[in-house]
Structure 1
Amino acid sequence: MIKRLYPATFTLLLLFSASLILTTTAEPDSGFCDGKCKIRCSKAGVKDRCLKYCNLCCKECNCVPSGTYGNKDECPCYRDKYTGEGKRRRPKCP
């Protein structure tokens, strides 16, 4: 029984570790997001919150719209992220 499980377990472990490597290398480098988000949040009233959510969105979407406001059509993933539901639904990304 153990001899039969060993190859299957090894194969699953190998596939899992390969998927982790691909996931971590697919993210943009933090310098890209930091630079774009500093520009995006330069005129924000609450800069630390703006930078936090901009960086989260950048890492998920791999892009940040140009300028300090608007232009979200340049990055549909960034544009379409929302928090909450119903009346509380608000854009997640600044």
Structure 2
Amino acid sequence: MSSVVLAQQAAETSINSGLAVIGYGLGAIGAGIGVGMIFSSVINGTARQPEAGGRLLGTAFTTFALVEVLALLGFVLFFLV
């Protein structure tokens, strides 16, 4: 078989939908753990230094948005595959 035929056969095969669901589930778990770690660090930092609470919370919401964008990107890719 030529490499062109092999490439066409590889392009025609799709990923198993069950594996895609498991992959997105793992991605969602990772995002949940990440968000939990972000806000636990904010609570811990605010408890140690209350005057820095506002700055910590602003940084936390920025990183929270980045983590959630990655989770939503995985959700979109789940439907595209």
Whether the TM-score (by the shorter chain) exceeds 0.5 is: no
Larger helix share, 1 or 2: 2
Instruction: Identify the TM-score tier after normalising by the shorter chain.
Output: 0.3 to 0.5
TM-score between the two structures when normalised by the length of structure 1: 0.33
Look at both structures and tell me which one has the larger radius of gyration over its CA atoms. Answer: 2
TM-score (norm: length of structure 2):
0.36
**Bigger share in strand:** 1
